[in-house]
Chain A
Amino acid sequence: MSPRRATSGGLIDRSRSVRFTFDGQDFTGHPGDTLASALLANGVSLFGRSFKYHRPRGVLAAGVDEPNALVTVLRGEAREPNIQATMLEIRDGLKVVSQNRFPTLGFDVGAANQLGGKLIGAGFYYKTFMGPVIGPLKGTRFWMFCEHFIRRAAGLGHAGTAPDPSRYERMNAFCDVLVVGSGPAGLMAAKAAAESGARVMLAEQDARLGGSANWSGETIDAQPANDWAAGMVRELAALPNVTLLPRTTVWGYYDGNTIAALERVTDHKASPRAGEPRQRHWTIRSGKVVLTTGAFERPLVFPGNDRPGVMLASAAERYAVEYGVLPGDKVAVFTNNDGAYKSALSLREAGCRIVAIIDVREELSEAVRALAVRTGAEILSGRAVTGTEGGKSLSGIKMQAFNAKAGAVSGDPRTIEADCLLMSGGWSPVINLASQAGAKAEWSERLQAFLPPKEADGWVGAGGFNGAFSLEAALAEGLAAGGEPDGDTPAVISYELDMAPAPVFEIAAGGKAFVDFQHDVTADDVRLAHREGFQSVEHLKRYTTLGMATDQGKTSNVPGLAIMANALGKQIPEVGTTRFRPPFAPVTIGALAAERYGEIRPERLTPMHDWHIANGATTYSAGLWHRPMIYGLPGETVEQAYVREAQTTREAAGIADVSTLGKIMVQGPDAAGFLDRVYTNMFSTLPVGKARYGLMLREDGLVLDDGTTWRLGEQDFLMTTTTANAGKVMQHLEYLLDAVWPELKVQLTSVTDQWAGASIAGPVSREILAACVTGTKVDNETLPFMGIVYGEISGAPVMICRLSFSGELAYEVYSGAGHGTHVWEALIAAGKPFGLVPYGLEALGTMRIEKGHVTGAEIDGRVTARDLHLDWMLSKKKPFVGSMMMDREGLTAPDRLQLVGIMSLDNRPLNGGAHIVEELDRDNPHGSIGHMTAACYSPVLGRHIGLALVKGGKSLHGQRAFISDPLRKRFGPVEIVSHHFYDPEGRRMHG
């Protein structure tokens, strides 16, 4: 038997043992234990070190409010830092290590920080480390030097760096009633709602449903409360309209009753079933939310209240009753309310010796005195604990007379031997989720706590959440919240306790008295904040870091406010209330990413993608697409490959996959008129069977996109967009049609994925088509420049448009996506005798630069049509989107960047992103007149060339300038030329 395990009792499975390690040491516990209960049962009292002073810390709480006992769980290479020992179920093989200590938990050199306690109080960083005002350490240097050491002390746990092999899952759910919390109120609410036929979900953050019924020791319906709860859970589980979610923390209350919850699916399993995720991220959309989240007990603030062995009264009770663990042999109790007496009695009944009950109140009720007598403890009312003794575990407490009204201690201290101190400073309802939903908390003077508002939108509350702390009230309110206000509640036997505390939060008696345990914020820190004017609740938090630790101030919030209120001489609500924000408890990042962990975006592949890969293509990302960059031959560099591809295309023929171009069907009686409105040039005059290059502006008059649109029928147009802007153009057109011009009869359909496109270019491209296309001729007469024909290739129907991006005689061959590879392979086969090569984006880019065609690199959202010398496309015969905005002064200013060509004069490569200067200054670059948008080696010119946007544009043609690229350390002379490098008259493509 473990040293502190009670001989009987508890909801653990004593028939089985579970083995785990803590800091390398082997321990055993039982199924049903948390790490905290198992370690306590083994006599461990030291769990961790605090953040700032590295003070030894034990367990304060028994649940999600625990600030001290944080550990790191090791799962293979993966590490889970900052896990609360109180929320971690033990399992065979569990490996846990302590945190924020060096070299060991028992001996931590960081504890030296305590020596500087007064120096490093709240806000001390702001007052020092600034360093000298002059000299080599001025500016930020001295601070950064100090910061280097400060950062080493940062953090609690270590994160892993190896990818986490766990799987995380996302689940959407819909229900009529979501009940949060499965204590007596929650069980009643769930049952009532389920009986009314509603779809009910019941979420409980702990492993075992039942909440306080599991440890209250009360009687419901003539049976122990935990048996009653177990029965209720069985009944609920049997109902088809109820979903029970144990180990599920509801952490976010978002707009529209969208609730976020995290389920720990297999964290507690030694060997999860195949396919089970580690955790599941639930998004629950619920008609109504029932909040039965109970209340957190508050610590009292007194010197030495952080010593291991000092814990919340209800936590100790829970360890004793639910886990069969005796937190101490000689237990003292320190309280300002009746609740702790029941806890003391529970511990007594579990086998502890209660040595003293110290109560700040002078007067005690008869009921509570009777209870106290049953504990066998010495009753010390009108007294307060003013200190604790012991090293890393409690050995005794100091006690003095206390006047609750004056808040003052007096008289000589008396020492009482104790190895465990229970404390209770009253209760704070867990209103976090209601606050997230926008509820404003209301202060209850009687309960010394913030309560939820009575009226709410979307949720109802019951039980401890409402400040109704008695079992009877919890059951009745739960029933009402579940929709049966007049139903019968089961009979109960419970203690008649007044949970209203005396308004005492702090015993000021000298020495460090902790308010926020994890962050080591003391009562003196709160007073220092007050002295320096940081008096509103938010300033208090931000200045002292009170409530900013991983427990988010669950135990420290109200005591901190109370001490500030006292310093200000104001009431607590005048200091302010904290608005809680998601998450209620920390949420695993992997769970939020869920299925997108490792696969953040879908991949878009063209129908011919596999062929490209099989034929040596190197690809790169273009948005979500993967596109061939080059089809390199063995031993070729990227430049050699694209030069060969471009050269072969210009001399014979090349073929490129253009399936990624955006394709939109624009159809209907008003389609032509619609295109006239959205393109700068005219489309209503385009004959059926012809295509036209079009330019679109945004509403603000700048260029949106360009592309060719094919008139397939009187009312049918196939619009193509650039790959990058496909979605944007579609949205733009849909908006105009649906929201601005609903009277136009036009239908838009995205067909990007329905068509596979192959661009075949080069002087022999016509011969290649003639060799494989059936059902139509492809000669110049049948298929002139910008003409469209229909035919078949190897049995597959195709649509061919003669248009050119490369400047060569060229065709775009479109087939159904399912035929894409078939048609592509047929074209490749037909082209073989003619020397056809596939070419990638690099060669495509090279040929378009030679032609001076613009793409996304130039259309960067800041250029006008005139900047790109596309003014010839701006119709004067009709208004179009952007036509009234494009001539504003800022868009026609003489110093705008305009498109030019650039030729390298030093025979070395150029790069996109380089700047253009008129005078070169490598050491102190300045005087940029523009930048290169694209560059390549031009096989036809035998030169390194590029496109650029420069101030002055065409007026600089023929001038010498320099590229200045300090980032890539490339400088050199260039000539500014026309952007039409190659065949400016377009003879080749018209040929």
Chain B
Amino acid sequence: MREYSAYTLLKNALAGNRDWKPAWRKPDPKASYDVVIIGGGGHGLSTAYYLAKEHGITNVAVLEKGYLGSGNVGRNTTAVRSNYLLPENHRFYEHSMDLWENLSHDLNYNVMFSQRGCLNLAHTPGQLDEYVRRGNALRHSGIDSELMTVEQIKRLVPALDVSASARFPVIGGVMQWSAGTARHDAVAWGYARGADRRGVDVIENCEVTGFLRDGDRVTGVTTTRGEIRAKKVAIAVAGSTGRVMKLVGIDEMPIESQVLQAFVSESLKPILDTVLTFGMGHFYVGQSDKGGLIYGGALDGYNSYAQRGSLPLVEEVHSEMLALFPGLASVRVLRSWGGLCDMSMDGSPIITTGPLPGMYLNCGWCYGGFKATPASGWCFAWTIAKDEPHPLNAPFTLDRFHRGAIIDDKGQGATPNLH
């Protein structure tokens, strides 16, 4: 019997909802594990889940310094898509999409993944060509993408200003229908529960303060809840990568931690059934099942560990929103928050063994961390279990920058705040 279903919901309701079990246990850390994963966010938890599920490695601890899912998995605009230009990226994200499509069943936890599409609006012929290039790249890798005319776009999103008198008229768009949104927190909770039910210890309020070493080899961690030995130590801490790597003596990384703000409006009756991006700025928006518009823009543009954004960016994002939806001027923004983005030097992630023996590294997620959650964990688990990357993450090495084997979807070079 699956733990969560319409039947168990009814059964429990009749019993006054008193019989539900905790979604995950609250264990104390053991003295040693086969694998210790630092970071109880989406990627750390999914890594633990796939280690257990795909590789049978269950003597695993996930260490989270705060509450589970306190990082970017709960601080994003919930969009899931695989429409990246470069094959290294879109193959990886399409694998993620495959996992997303069955994730609720796999986890027996409804993550509310809804494939309502992601539409990139184009405003100049050159831009449309660029988007078509990307769409065609996807199609040649077996991934869906289609061109939409202004008329089709207008039908799909009646509230959108597609008039020729707009400052940047919409001239077309490229749609990925398989893209969509998911309930972000549910992803963390679902993976945590899935890992927990397979024997993984998910340990909250346990901050890593240092690494145990045997020569070069990493043999465990010291934490606020004691020393924990591990055959393998995996790091999946996104925006905190710089901080954690310094604990192991690696002072420089091809990563900058920057703050990215996101916003949600008051709940509105549905006006937007897909995820939209604006081509003449940096703006993306969707509407949640609760009715809030969830949207964001560019990074604030400077290094930050503060999870706090700046006012000029707030103004910019809302200006861009009204450039697309002039009818929403009277709607009000309800919440804002900031997440720490681990911006890599080419905009693509790092999932690799090393850089020290006994250590595994997962970082550099830029804007892509949430949508990557399943594939990131899946590939990282593979890499940890087999001590070598899966072909899907083989390009995402740490040394690719120095070698010039860069995977630069936006073509911006080593300028993290432009990726």
Contact = CB atoms under 8 A, between A and B. Distances in A.
Nearest to B346: A700
Contacts of B123: 621
Given A260-B311, A890-B403, A154 B291 contact: yes
Interface stretch (A497-505, A592-600, A787-795, A901-909): A592-600
A600 B322 CA distance: 8
B336 A915 contact: no
B167 A600 contact: yes
A128 B329 contact: no
B155 interface: no
A926 B26 CA distance: 49
Contacts of B116: 144
A156 B320 contact: no
A143 B136 contact: no
Contacts of A226: none
A531 B133 contact: no
A82 B266 contact: yes
Interface in A536-571: 536, 538-539, 542-543, 545, 548-550, 552
A952 interface: no
A592 B319 CA distance: 7
Contacts of A699: 413-414
B226 interface: no
A531 B20 CA distance: 7
B129 A913 contact: yes
Contacts of A159: 159, 268-269, 271, 327-328, 330-331
Contact of A913 (B20, B26, B131): B131
A16 interface: no
A87 B17 CA distance: 38
A649 B271 CA distance: 50
B32 interface: no
Contact of A531 (B18, B129, B167, B265): B18
B8 interface: yes
A586 interface: yes
A702 interface: yes
Given A128-B110, A168-B329, A581 B140 contact: no
Contacts of A927: 140
Given A127-B110, A592-B314, A912 B133 contact: yes
B321 A589 contact: yes
A755 to B, nearest CB: 24
B330 A160 contact: yes
A138 B116 CA distance: 16
Interface in B119-144: 123-126, 128-133, 135-137, 139-142
Nearest to B109: A126
Nearest to A80: B330
Contact of B139 (A534, A861, A925): A925
How many interface residues does chain B have, given as a range? Answer: 35 or more
B331 A589 contact: yes
A700 B413 contact: yes
Contacts of B101: 139-140
A533 B22 contact: yes
Given A127-B5, A160-B327, A533-B22, A861 B132 contact: no
A262 to B, nearest CB: 9
Given A140-B115, A164-B327, A889-B405, 13 more contacts: A127-B8, A131-B105, A161-B271, A252-B314, A260-B311, A281-B315, A533-B25, A545-B290, A550-B267, A699-B414, A861-B411, A862-B411, A967-B145
26 contacts: A127-B8, A140-B180, A144-B115, A144-B116, A147-B289, A154-B291, A156-B266, A159-B331, A258-B311, A533-B22, A533-B24, A538-B70, A589-B330, A593-B319, A600-B323, A861-B408, A885-B404, A890-B405, A911-B129, A913-B135, A915-B136, A927-B140, A928-B137, A964-B136, A965-B132, A965-B136
Interface of B: 4-6, 8-10, 13-14, 16-18, 20-26, 67-68, 70, 74, 101-102, 104-105, 108-116, 123-126, 128-133, 135-137, 139-142, 145-147, 158-159, 161, 167-168, 174, 180, 183, 185-186, 189-190, 204, 265-271, 273, 280-281, 287-291, 308, 310-311, 314-315, 318-323, 326-338, 400, 402-406, 408, 410-414
Interface of A: 51, 75, 78-82, 118-119, 121, 124-131, 133, 138-140, 143-144, 147, 150-152, 154-164, 166, 168, 170, 252, 254-255, 258, 260, 281, 283, 438, 524, 528, 531-534, 536, 538-539, 542-543, 545, 548-550, 552, 581-583, 586-590, 592-594, 596-601, 603, 620-622, 698-702, 856-857, 860-862, 885, 888-893, 911-915, 917, 924-928, 931-934, 964-968
